[in-house]
Protein backbone atom coordinates (compact mmCIF):
# COMPACT_ATOMS: atom_id res chain seq x y z
CA UNK A 1 0.00 0.00 0.00
CA UNK A 2 1.49 3.36 -0.96
CA UNK A 3 2.10 5.72 1.92
CA UNK A 4 0.23 8.95 2.53
CA UNK A 5 2.43 12.00 2.23
CA UNK A 6 2.56 14.49 5.06
CA UNK A 7 3.71 17.88 3.81
CA UNK A 8 6.42 19.48 5.92
CA UNK A 9 5.88 23.23 6.31
CA UNK A 10 8.98 24.74 7.84
CA UNK A 11 8.54 27.97 9.78
CA UNK A 12 12.09 28.27 11.21
CA UNK A 13 12.47 31.61 9.41
CA UNK A 14 9.15 33.02 10.66
CA UNK A 15 7.84 31.51 13.94
CA UNK A 16 11.37 30.24 14.72
CA UNK A 17 12.95 33.61 14.20
CA UNK A 18 10.54 35.15 16.73
CA UNK A 19 12.80 33.75 19.48
CA UNK A 20 14.41 36.63 21.42
CA UNK A 21 18.05 37.06 20.43
CA UNK A 22 17.82 34.81 17.38
CA UNK A 23 17.40 37.46 14.70
CA UNK A 24 19.05 36.54 11.40
CA UNK A 25 20.21 38.79 8.59
CA UNK A 26 19.11 38.22 5.00
CA UNK A 27 22.32 36.40 4.07
CA UNK A 28 21.93 33.94 6.96
CA UNK A 29 18.27 33.41 6.04
CA UNK A 30 19.21 32.64 2.45
CA UNK A 31 21.71 30.00 3.56
CA UNK A 32 19.09 28.36 5.79
CA UNK A 33 16.37 28.57 3.11
CA UNK A 34 18.64 26.91 0.55
CA UNK A 35 19.45 24.17 3.06
CA UNK A 36 15.74 23.63 3.86
CA UNK A 37 15.05 23.27 0.14
CA UNK A 38 17.78 20.62 -0.17
CA UNK A 39 16.50 18.92 3.01
CA UNK A 40 13.21 18.39 1.16
CA UNK A 41 10.70 20.55 3.02
CA UNK A 42 7.53 21.17 1.00
CA UNK A 43 6.88 24.71 2.20
CA UNK A 44 9.23 27.37 3.55
CA UNK A 45 7.52 30.12 5.53
CA UNK A 46 10.08 32.81 4.77
CA UNK A 47 8.75 35.58 7.00
CA UNK A 48 6.06 38.16 7.71
CA UNK A 49 6.72 40.67 4.92
CA UNK A 50 4.84 43.66 6.34
CA UNK A 51 6.53 43.37 9.74
CA UNK A 52 9.71 45.24 8.69
CA UNK A 53 11.60 46.32 5.55
CA UNK A 54 14.27 43.73 6.44
CA UNK A 55 11.69 40.95 6.55
CA UNK A 56 10.26 42.06 3.20
CA UNK A 57 13.73 41.99 1.60
CA UNK A 58 14.45 38.54 3.05
CA UNK A 59 11.16 37.04 1.85
CA UNK A 60 11.72 38.52 -1.62
CA UNK A 61 15.28 37.18 -1.80
CA UNK A 62 14.21 33.73 -0.57
CA UNK A 63 11.36 33.68 -3.11
CA UNK A 64 13.92 34.31 -5.89
CA UNK A 65 16.37 31.69 -4.61
CA UNK A 66 14.28 28.66 -3.70
CA UNK A 67 14.01 26.07 -6.47
CA UNK A 68 11.67 23.34 -5.23
CA UNK A 69 9.66 24.29 -2.15
CA UNK A 70 6.62 26.52 -2.01
CA UNK A 71 7.60 29.88 -0.48
CA UNK A 72 5.08 31.34 1.92
CA UNK A 73 4.59 34.74 3.56
CA UNK A 74 2.47 35.43 6.65
CA UNK A 75 -0.18 38.16 6.85
CA UNK A 76 -2.93 39.32 9.14
CA UNK A 77 -6.44 39.48 7.72
CA UNK A 78 -6.17 42.89 6.09
CA UNK A 79 -5.60 44.21 2.59
CA UNK A 80 -2.30 46.02 3.18
CA UNK A 81 -0.60 42.94 4.72
CA UNK A 82 -1.80 40.80 1.84
CA UNK A 83 -0.65 43.26 -0.85
CA UNK A 84 2.81 43.51 0.73
CA UNK A 85 3.11 39.71 1.03
CA UNK A 86 2.03 39.25 -2.59
CA UNK A 87 4.66 41.78 -3.65
CA UNK A 88 7.41 40.04 -1.62
CA UNK A 89 6.44 36.69 -3.15
CA UNK A 90 6.19 37.84 -6.77
CA UNK A 91 9.36 36.01 -7.89
CA UNK A 92 8.51 32.71 -6.17
CA UNK A 93 8.07 29.69 -8.43
CA UNK A 94 5.38 28.44 -6.05
CA UNK A 95 4.04 31.32 -3.88
CA UNK A 96 1.64 30.87 -0.97
CA UNK A 97 -0.03 33.57 1.12
CA UNK A 98 -0.73 32.52 4.73
CA UNK A 99 -3.48 34.73 6.08
CA UNK A 100 -5.78 34.41 9.05
CA UNK A 101 -7.37 35.72 12.20
CA UNK A 102 -7.99 34.72 15.82
CA UNK A 103 -11.11 32.61 16.31
CA UNK A 104 -11.18 31.81 20.03
CA UNK A 105 -13.51 33.76 22.33
CA UNK A 106 -10.59 35.53 24.00
CA UNK A 107 -9.10 36.62 20.67
CA UNK A 108 -12.47 37.78 19.32
CA UNK A 109 -13.26 39.70 22.48
CA UNK A 110 -9.91 41.07 23.67
CA UNK A 111 -7.88 41.37 20.47
CA UNK A 112 -10.60 42.42 18.07
CA UNK A 113 -13.46 43.59 20.30
CA UNK A 114 -15.63 41.91 17.70
CA UNK A 115 -18.21 39.16 17.22
CA UNK A 116 -18.08 35.65 15.79
CA UNK A 117 -20.02 36.69 12.66
CA UNK A 118 -17.79 39.70 11.97
CA UNK A 119 -14.66 37.53 12.31
CA UNK A 120 -16.07 35.14 9.70
CA UNK A 121 -16.64 38.11 7.36
CA UNK A 122 -13.03 39.27 7.80
CA UNK A 123 -11.72 35.76 7.23
CA UNK A 124 -13.69 35.40 4.00
CA UNK A 125 -12.54 38.80 2.73
CA UNK A 126 -8.88 38.08 3.53
CA UNK A 127 -8.87 34.73 1.74
CA UNK A 128 -10.79 36.09 -1.26
CA UNK A 129 -8.38 39.05 -1.53
CA UNK A 130 -5.26 36.85 -1.21
CA UNK A 131 -6.75 34.66 -3.93
CA UNK A 132 -6.64 37.60 -6.37
CA UNK A 133 -2.80 37.44 -6.13
CA UNK A 134 -1.95 33.75 -5.76
CA UNK A 135 -3.67 30.42 -6.30
CA UNK A 136 -2.33 28.85 -3.10
CA UNK A 137 -3.88 30.48 0.00
CA UNK A 138 -3.49 29.03 3.47
CA UNK A 139 -5.87 30.23 6.18
CA UNK A 140 -4.95 30.10 9.90
CA UNK A 141 -7.57 30.16 12.62
CA UNK A 142 -5.35 31.58 15.35
CA UNK A 143 -5.89 29.95 18.76
CA UNK A 144 -7.91 27.17 17.13
CA UNK A 145 -6.76 24.99 20.03
CA UNK A 146 -9.09 26.95 22.34
CA UNK A 147 -11.78 27.66 19.74
CA UNK A 148 -15.16 25.99 19.99
CA UNK A 149 -15.22 23.20 17.37
CA UNK A 150 -18.66 24.02 16.00
CA UNK A 151 -17.74 27.67 15.42
CA UNK A 152 -14.36 26.67 13.99
CA UNK A 153 -16.12 24.40 11.51
CA UNK A 154 -18.33 27.33 10.43
CA UNK A 155 -15.30 29.56 9.85
CA UNK A 156 -13.49 26.89 7.86
CA UNK A 157 -16.47 26.07 5.67
CA UNK A 158 -16.67 29.73 4.65
CA UNK A 159 -12.96 30.14 3.91
CA UNK A 160 -12.97 26.99 1.79
CA UNK A 161 -15.77 28.58 -0.25
CA UNK A 162 -13.65 31.74 -0.55
CA UNK A 163 -10.81 29.69 -2.06
CA UNK A 164 -8.49 28.54 0.75
CA UNK A 165 -6.34 25.57 -0.28
CA UNK A 166 -4.84 24.77 3.13
CA UNK A 167 -6.46 25.17 6.57
CA UNK A 168 -4.12 25.71 9.50
CA UNK A 169 -5.43 24.70 12.94
CA UNK A 170 -2.93 26.30 15.33
CA UNK A 171 -2.73 25.36 18.96
CA UNK A 172 -1.28 28.84 19.40
CA UNK A 173 -0.97 28.66 23.18
CA UNK A 174 0.18 25.03 23.37
CA UNK A 175 -2.87 24.21 25.50
CA UNK A 176 -4.34 21.05 23.95
CA UNK A 177 -3.74 17.48 24.99
CA UNK A 178 -2.93 15.09 22.12
CA UNK A 179 -6.31 13.29 22.23
CA UNK A 180 -8.10 16.65 22.33
CA UNK A 181 -6.15 18.04 19.37
CA UNK A 182 -6.59 14.78 17.43
CA UNK A 183 -10.34 14.83 18.16
CA UNK A 184 -10.52 18.43 16.89
CA UNK A 185 -8.97 17.43 13.57
CA UNK A 186 -11.30 14.42 13.34
CA UNK A 187 -14.32 16.60 14.08
CA UNK A 188 -13.32 19.04 11.33
CA UNK A 189 -12.71 16.20 8.86
CA UNK A 190 -16.20 14.88 9.57
CA UNK A 191 -18.14 18.13 9.81
CA UNK A 192 -16.75 20.70 7.39
CA UNK A 193 -18.21 20.68 3.89
CA UNK A 194 -15.50 20.66 1.24
CA UNK A 195 -12.74 19.61 3.67
CA UNK A 196 -11.63 16.72 1.46
CA UNK A 197 -10.57 19.19 -1.24
CA UNK A 198 -8.13 21.03 1.04
CA UNK A 199 -5.18 20.12 3.27
CA UNK A 200 -5.57 20.34 7.04
CA UNK A 201 -2.43 21.58 8.77
CA UNK A 202 -1.16 21.18 12.35
CA UNK A 203 0.65 24.13 13.92
CA UNK A 204 1.39 23.27 17.54
CA UNK A 205 3.23 25.16 20.25
CA UNK A 206 5.20 23.58 23.05
CA UNK A 207 4.06 25.41 26.19
CA UNK A 208 3.22 22.09 27.88
CA UNK A 209 5.86 20.07 26.02
CA UNK A 210 3.20 18.56 23.74
CA UNK A 211 3.88 20.21 20.38
CA UNK A 212 5.26 17.08 18.75
CA UNK A 213 2.69 14.72 20.29
CA UNK A 214 -0.15 17.02 19.19
CA UNK A 215 1.09 17.28 15.61
CA UNK A 216 1.34 13.49 15.41
CA UNK A 217 -2.19 13.15 16.83
CA UNK A 218 -3.27 15.61 14.12
CA UNK A 219 -1.89 13.55 11.24
CA UNK A 220 -3.23 10.34 12.77
CA UNK A 221 -6.65 11.93 12.50
CA UNK A 222 -6.44 13.18 8.94
CA UNK A 223 -4.25 16.31 8.82
CA UNK A 224 -1.69 16.15 6.00
CA UNK A 225 0.63 19.05 6.76
CA UNK A 226 2.77 19.71 9.84
CA UNK A 227 4.13 23.19 10.59
CA UNK A 228 7.40 22.89 12.43
CA UNK A 229 10.85 24.34 12.98
CA UNK A 230 14.37 23.00 13.05
CA UNK A 231 15.30 22.22 16.69
CA UNK A 232 11.71 23.09 17.71
CA UNK A 233 12.60 26.77 18.11
CA UNK A 234 9.82 29.33 18.15
CA UNK A 235 7.70 31.73 20.14
CA UNK A 236 7.92 31.07 23.95
CA UNK A 237 8.55 27.32 24.47
CA UNK A 238 8.79 26.78 20.73
CA UNK A 239 7.03 24.86 17.98
CA UNK A 240 6.84 21.23 16.89
CA UNK A 241 10.41 20.09 16.08
CA UNK A 242 10.80 19.11 12.43
CA UNK A 243 13.40 16.43 13.15
CA UNK A 244 11.11 14.81 15.73
CA UNK A 245 7.96 14.48 13.62
CA UNK A 246 9.91 13.33 10.58
CA UNK A 247 11.68 10.59 12.53
CA UNK A 248 8.48 9.53 14.36
CA UNK A 249 6.78 8.93 11.01
CA UNK A 250 9.86 7.12 9.67
CA UNK A 251 10.27 4.88 12.73
CA UNK A 252 6.57 3.93 12.79
CA UNK A 253 5.88 2.68 9.27
CA UNK A 254 2.55 1.12 10.28
CA UNK A 255 1.14 4.67 10.49
CA UNK A 256 1.44 4.59 6.70
CA UNK A 257 2.56 8.21 6.60
CA UNK A 258 5.80 9.61 5.28
CA UNK A 259 7.52 12.83 4.27
CA UNK A 260 9.85 14.02 1.52
CA UNK A 261 12.64 14.82 3.99
CA UNK A 262 16.16 13.50 3.41
CA UNK A 263 16.70 12.49 7.03
CA UNK A 264 20.47 12.13 6.57
CA UNK A 265 20.65 15.93 6.49
CA UNK A 266 18.83 16.47 9.80
CA UNK A 267 21.90 16.70 12.05
CA UNK A 268 23.85 19.09 9.82
CA UNK A 269 20.76 21.27 9.29
CA UNK A 270 20.25 21.44 13.04
CA UNK A 271 23.90 22.47 13.48
CA UNK A 272 23.52 25.18 10.82
CA UNK A 273 20.48 26.67 12.58
CA UNK A 274 22.13 26.45 16.03
CA UNK A 275 25.22 28.25 14.78
CA UNK A 276 23.38 30.90 12.75
CA UNK A 277 21.00 31.74 15.60
CA UNK A 278 23.53 31.34 18.40
CA UNK A 279 21.01 29.10 20.13
CA UNK A 280 22.44 25.78 21.26
CA UNK A 281 19.96 22.97 21.94
CA UNK A 282 20.07 21.02 25.19
CA UNK A 283 22.29 17.89 25.05
CA UNK A 284 19.32 15.57 25.65
CA UNK A 285 17.29 17.04 22.76
CA UNK A 286 15.66 14.17 20.83
CA UNK A 287 17.23 13.19 17.48
CA UNK A 288 19.90 15.90 17.18
CA UNK A 289 21.11 16.63 20.75
CA UNK A 290 24.73 15.76 21.59
CA UNK A 291 23.57 12.90 23.86
CA UNK A 292 20.90 11.53 21.52
CA UNK A 293 23.21 8.63 20.57
CA UNK A 294 25.57 8.67 23.56
CA UNK A 295 25.58 5.76 26.00
CA UNK A 296 27.09 6.14 29.42
CA UNK A 297 25.83 3.49 31.83
CA UNK A 298 27.73 0.18 31.93
CA UNK A 299 24.66 -1.97 31.26
CA UNK A 300 23.66 0.07 28.20
CA UNK A 301 27.22 0.27 26.86
CA UNK A 302 27.66 -3.47 27.11
CA UNK A 303 24.38 -3.97 25.18
CA UNK A 304 25.18 -1.41 22.47
CA UNK A 305 28.68 -2.82 21.92
CA UNK A 306 27.13 -6.29 21.40
CA UNK A 307 24.34 -4.97 19.20
CA UNK A 308 23.32 -1.33 18.66
CA UNK A 309 19.61 -2.23 18.55
CA UNK A 310 19.57 -3.19 22.25
CA UNK A 311 19.36 0.48 23.23
CA UNK A 312 18.92 2.44 19.99
CA UNK A 313 15.70 2.72 18.01
CA UNK A 314 17.27 4.92 15.33
CA UNK A 315 20.39 4.22 13.31
CA UNK A 316 22.46 7.40 13.89
CA UNK A 317 23.53 7.31 10.24
CA UNK A 318 19.85 7.85 9.28
CA UNK A 319 19.96 11.35 10.77
CA UNK A 320 23.51 12.13 9.65
CA UNK A 321 25.32 11.30 12.90
CA UNK A 322 28.48 9.29 12.15
CA UNK A 323 28.18 6.82 15.01
CA UNK A 324 26.84 6.20 18.49
CA UNK A 325 29.24 7.22 21.22
CA UNK A 326 30.33 5.25 24.24
CA UNK A 327 31.06 7.81 26.92
CA UNK A 328 33.50 6.61 29.57
CA UNK A 329 32.43 7.48 33.10
CA UNK A 330 32.58 5.85 36.52
CA UNK A 331 29.40 4.00 35.45
CA UNK A 332 31.18 2.29 32.54
CA UNK A 333 32.07 -1.38 32.63
CA UNK A 334 35.02 -3.38 31.31
CA UNK A 335 33.41 -3.82 27.87
CA UNK A 336 33.23 -0.05 27.34
CA UNK A 337 36.81 0.50 28.48
CA UNK A 338 38.08 -2.25 26.16
CA UNK A 339 36.01 -0.84 23.28
CA UNK A 340 37.28 2.73 23.69
CA UNK A 341 40.87 1.57 24.24
CA UNK A 342 40.65 -0.43 21.00
CA UNK A 343 39.33 2.66 19.16
CA UNK A 344 42.49 4.54 20.10
CA UNK A 345 44.83 1.64 19.29
CA UNK A 346 45.11 -0.67 22.29
CA UNK A 347 43.86 -4.25 21.97
CA UNK A 348 43.75 -5.29 25.64
CA UNK A 349 44.07 -8.86 26.86
CA UNK A 350 41.74 -10.03 29.60
CA UNK A 351 44.57 -9.86 32.15
CA UNK A 352 45.49 -6.29 31.12
CA UNK A 353 41.86 -5.24 31.32
CA UNK A 354 41.42 -6.77 34.78
CA UNK A 355 44.55 -4.90 35.94
CA UNK A 356 43.63 -1.54 34.49
CA UNK A 357 39.90 -1.47 35.24
CA UNK A 358 40.19 -0.63 39.00
CA UNK A 359 42.65 2.18 38.15
CA UNK A 360 40.24 3.44 35.52
CA UNK A 361 37.37 3.49 38.06
CA UNK A 362 39.45 5.41 40.59
CA UNK A 363 40.31 8.01 37.98
CA UNK A 364 36.74 8.17 36.63
CA UNK A 365 35.33 8.75 40.12
CA UNK A 366 37.10 12.12 40.14
CA UNK A 367 36.32 13.17 36.58
CA UNK A 368 33.06 13.78 34.73
CA UNK A 369 34.30 11.90 31.69
CA UNK A 370 37.39 9.90 30.67
CA UNK A 371 38.64 11.06 27.28
CA UNK A 372 41.10 9.65 24.72
CA UNK A 373 44.04 11.52 26.27
CA UNK A 374 43.23 9.96 29.64
CA UNK A 375 43.16 6.49 28.06
CA UNK A 376 46.61 7.02 26.52
CA UNK A 377 47.90 8.18 29.90
CA UNK A 378 46.46 5.12 31.66
CA UNK A 379 48.12 2.82 29.11
CA UNK A 380 51.47 4.60 29.49
CA UNK A 381 51.33 4.21 33.29
CA UNK A 382 50.80 0.47 32.76
CA UNK A 383 53.49 0.17 30.06
CA UNK A 384 50.98 -0.99 27.47
CA UNK A 385 51.87 -0.04 23.93
CA UNK A 386 49.63 0.24 20.91
CA UNK A 387 48.79 -2.93 18.98
CA UNK A 388 50.34 -3.21 15.53
O1 LIG B 1 0.84 30.12 16.55
C2 LIG B 1 0.11 30.65 15.68
O3 LIG B 1 -1.11 30.71 15.80
C4 LIG B 1 0.77 31.22 14.52
C5 LIG B 1 -0.11 31.72 13.43
C6 LIG B 1 0.25 33.10 13.05
C7 LIG B 1 -0.06 30.77 12.28
O8 LIG B 1 1.98 31.24 14.44
ZN1 LIG C 1 2.88 29.83 15.89
CATH number (domain holding residue 185):
3.20.20.70
φ, ψ of residue 92 in degrees (nearest 5): -70, 140
Statement to judge: residues 229 and 147 lie in one domain: yes
> Which one of 229, 247, 277 terminates a domain?
277
Give distance in angstroms: CA of 93 to centre of ligand 2: 25
Ligand 1 pocket mutation, candidates 168, 215, 232, criterion most atoms within 8 A of CB: 168
Statement to judge: residues 267 and 222 lie in one domain: yes
Contacts of 284-292 spanning 24+ positions with Cβ under 8 A: 285/231, 285/232, 285/241, 286/241, 286/243, 286/244, 286/247, 287/241, 287/243, 287/244, 287/247, 287/314, 287/319, 288/231, 288/243, 288/319, 292/316, 292/321
3-state secondary structure of 283: coil
Q: Answer yes or no: is 216 within a domain.
A: yes
Query: Given this model, what pLDDT does residue 3 score?
Result: 75
Nearest to 364 by CA among 334, 324, 320, 321: 334
Give distance in angstroms: CA of 124 to centre of ligand 2: 21
Residues of the chain with pLDDT under 50: none
Statement to judge: residues 257 and 300 lie in one domain: no
> Which one of 222, 249, 277 terminates a domain?
277
Cβ count within 10 A of residue 331: 15
Q: Answer yes or no: is 97 within a domain.
A: yes
Query: What pairing do the DSSP bridges indicate for beta strands 199-204 and 225-228?
Result: parallel
Give distance in angstroms: CA of 240 to centre of ligand 2: 10
Statement to judge: residues 262 and 316 lie in one domain: no
Strands (E), 48-192: 70-74, 95-102, 136-142, 166-171
Statement to judge: residues 306 and 335 lie in one domain: yes
Query: Given this model, what pLDDT does residue 362 score?
Result: 97
Query: Given this model, what pLDDT does residue 323 score?
Result: 87
Q: Answer yes or no: is 283 within a domain.
A: no
Statement to judge: residues 119 and 263 lie in one domain: yes
Statement to judge: residues 148 and 260 lie in one domain: yes
Looking at the CA of residue 15, tell me the nearest atom of ligand 1. 8
Tens of pLDDT, residues 333-346: 999 999 999 999 99
N- to C-terminal Cα separation, the chain: 53
Q: Answer yes or no: is 207 within a domain.
A: yes
Looking at the CA of residue 239, tell me the nearest atom of ligand 1. 1
Give distance in angstroms: CA of 298 to centre of ligand 2: 42
- Bridge partners (DSSP) of residue 45 are 72
Give distance in angstroms: CA of 184 to centre of ligand 2: 18
Q: Answer yes or no: is 284 within a domain.
A: no
Statement to judge: residues 49 and 128 lie in one domain: yes
Which residue's C-alpha comes closest to atom 8 of ligand 1? 15
Which residue's C-alpha comes closest to atom 1 of ligand 1? 172
Asked if 192 and 157 count as a contact pair (C-beta separation under 8 A), the reply is yes
Looking at the CA of residue 205, tell me the nearest atom of ligand 1. 1
Q: Answer yes or no: is 246 within a domain.
A: yes
Query: Given this model, what pLDDT does residue 22 score?
Result: 87
Statement to judge: residues 129 and 201 lie in one domain: yes
Which residue's C-alpha comes closest to atom 6 of ligand 1? 142
Q: Give the Å distances, CA to CA, from 58 to 31, 61, 182, 271, 370.
A: 11, 5, 35, 21, 46
Q: Answer yes or no: is 288 within a domain.
A: no
Query: Given this model, what pLDDT does residue 1 score?
Result: 60
Ligand 1 pocket mutation, candidates 205, 226, 228, 236, criterion most atoms within 8 A of CB: 205
Query: Total domain count for the chain?
Result: 2
Q: What's the rounded Cα separation, in Å, for the pair 270 and 280?
A: 10
Query: Given this model, what pLDDT does residue 7 score?
Result: 98
Statement to judge: residues 307 and 271 lie in one domain: no
Q: Answer yes or no: is 227 within a domain.
A: yes
Residue 201 CA: which ligand is closest?
1
Give distance in angstroms: CA of 33 to centre of ligand 2: 19
Ligand 1 pocket mutation, candidates 172, 227, 232, criterion most atoms within 8 A of CB: 172
> Which one of 277, 309, 337 terminates a domain?
277
Q: What's the rounded Cα separation, in Å, for the pair 167 and 146?
A: 16
Which residue's C-alpha comes closest to atom 5 of ligand 1? 142
Which residue's C-alpha comes closest to atom 2 of ligand 1? 172
Statement to judge: residues 80 and 176 lie in one domain: yes
Give distance in angstroms: CA of 239 to centre of ligand 2: 7
**Range(s) of the domain holding residue 307:** 294-382
Give distance in angstroms: CA of 67 to centre of ligand 2: 25
> Which residues have C-beta atoms less than 6 Å from ligand 1?
15, 140, 142, 168, 170, 172, 203, 205
Statement to judge: residues 248 and 320 lie in one domain: no
Ligand 1 pocket mutation, candidates 14, 203, 235, criterion most atoms within 8 A of CB: 203
Nearest to 240 by CA among 283, 287, 278: 287
Looking at the CA of residue 140, tell me the nearest atom of ligand 1. 7
Amino acid sequence: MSKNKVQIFDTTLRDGEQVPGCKLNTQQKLIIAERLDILGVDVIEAGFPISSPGDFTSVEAIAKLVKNATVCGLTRANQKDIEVAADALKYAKKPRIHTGIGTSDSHILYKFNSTQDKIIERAIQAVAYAKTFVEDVEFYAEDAGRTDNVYLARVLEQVIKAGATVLNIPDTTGYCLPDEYGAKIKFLKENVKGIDNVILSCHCHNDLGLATANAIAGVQNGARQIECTINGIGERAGNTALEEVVMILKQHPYLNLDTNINTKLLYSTSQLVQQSMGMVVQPNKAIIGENAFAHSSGIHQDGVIKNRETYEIIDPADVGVTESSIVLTARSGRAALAYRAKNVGYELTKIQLDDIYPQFLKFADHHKEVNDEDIHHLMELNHISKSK
